[in-house]
Amino acid sequence: MLATGLSIEIKGLSFNYPDGQCGLKDIDLNIAHGESVALVGPNGAGKSTLLLHLNGILRSECSISVCGMKIEERNIREIRKKVGMVFQDPEDQLFSLNVFEDVAFGPLNMGLKEDEVDRRVSLALQKVGMAGYETRSSHHLSIGEKKRVAIATVLSLDPEILALDEPTSSLDPRGRAALTTLLKSLSVTKIIASHDLDLVRLLCNRVVVMDGGRIVADGDSGRILSDHALLEAHGLAV
Ligand SMILES: Nc1ncnc2c1ncn2[C@@H]1O[C@H](COP(=O)(O)OP(=O)(O)OP(=O)(O)O)[C@@H](O)[C@H]1O
Ligand SMILES: [Mg+2]
């Protein structure tokens, strides 16, 4: 547990992409250890851009701390062990010859022994319902299977923070229910960008609404998800 009790501290984060497109504007966000926070908002709101700042894939001048460590070059290896990031597009996550190697990549990089790597890979694949796929080529899997393996690549790291970008997209109903149950059982800090408000309702105690690169609301999930005017104003209710 941190002295501050904070897993994530973001102060005054603004970010423009190289072509000048605004990605984020004046983001202040503190997430306590063990919280489960949803990021919701319409397409282009800035959810993925915000998540990509949490392990330094995107960087800005502003100060971001993860588990009490400021994100900067000398910490980046340590930070990437702490923050397990599942990208919106599983193609961005899978680059090895086969499923085993993709899921083993993180644990091997952490310098773990072969036995422990094998144990973690088996467990992670079992958790996402992909045991038995070890020797399959990740690139020849269905989109939903790729998403499951992408999630396993992060579970095998046993991170302190899970940053998940649309974790249930492309999953079938059984896969979605199993993933929800799995995520609920993990006591780590979770920050989840999702359009799946059922998942948000089941999993997150707090909802942050983004639009136009800004945070426009932040509060208890029950309150935010029952505020129809707010949801409608930000493209979340039909
Ligand atoms: N590589 C990029 N170059 C330029 N602009 C980008 C890039 N990636 C995203 N953007 C822009 O940044 C803004 C935020 O995009 P982002 O992908 O973070 O949205 P999002 O909330 O994740 O949307 P979605 O619900 O579609 O996943 C959008 O205006 C988008 O067009
Ligand atoms: Mg996105």
The predicted-structure confidence for 172-183, as pLDDT tens digits, reads as follows 999 899 889 989
Residue of minimum CA distance from atom 14 in ligand 1: 46
Using DSSP's 3-state secondary structure scheme, residue 45 falls into coil
DSSP bridge pairs for 209: 40, 217
Task: Read off the tokens for 61.
Answer: 């001048």
Distance of CA 61 to the CA centre of its chain: 22
Q: How is residue 75 annotated by DSSP?
A: G
Task: Read off the tokens for 107.
Answer: 């644990």
For residues 167 and 89, is the Cβ–Cβ distance under 8 A? no
The predicted-structure confidence for 43-68, as pLDDT tens digits, reads as follows 999 999 999 999 999 998 888 999 99
Q: Kindly state the helix (H) or strand (E) to which residue 100 belongs, with its residue range.
A: helix 99-109
User: Ligand 1 test: best mutation among 25, 27, 48, 58, most atoms within 8 Å of CB?
Assistant: 48
Q: For 6-233, which CATH class?
A: alpha beta
Which pTM value belongs to this model?
A: 0.94
Residue 88 beta carbon below 6 angstroms from any ligand 1 atom: yes
Sheet holding 22-32, edge to edge: 22-32, 6-16, 63-66, 69-70
Amino acid identity at 233: A
Dmax over Cα atoms in the chain, in whole Å?
54
Residues with CB under 5 A from ligand 2 (ion): 47-48, 88
For residues 230 and 224, is the Cβ–Cβ distance under 8 A? yes
Judged against a pLDDT cut of 90, whether residue 122 lies above it is answered with yes
Residue of minimum CA distance from atom 3 in ligand 1: 17
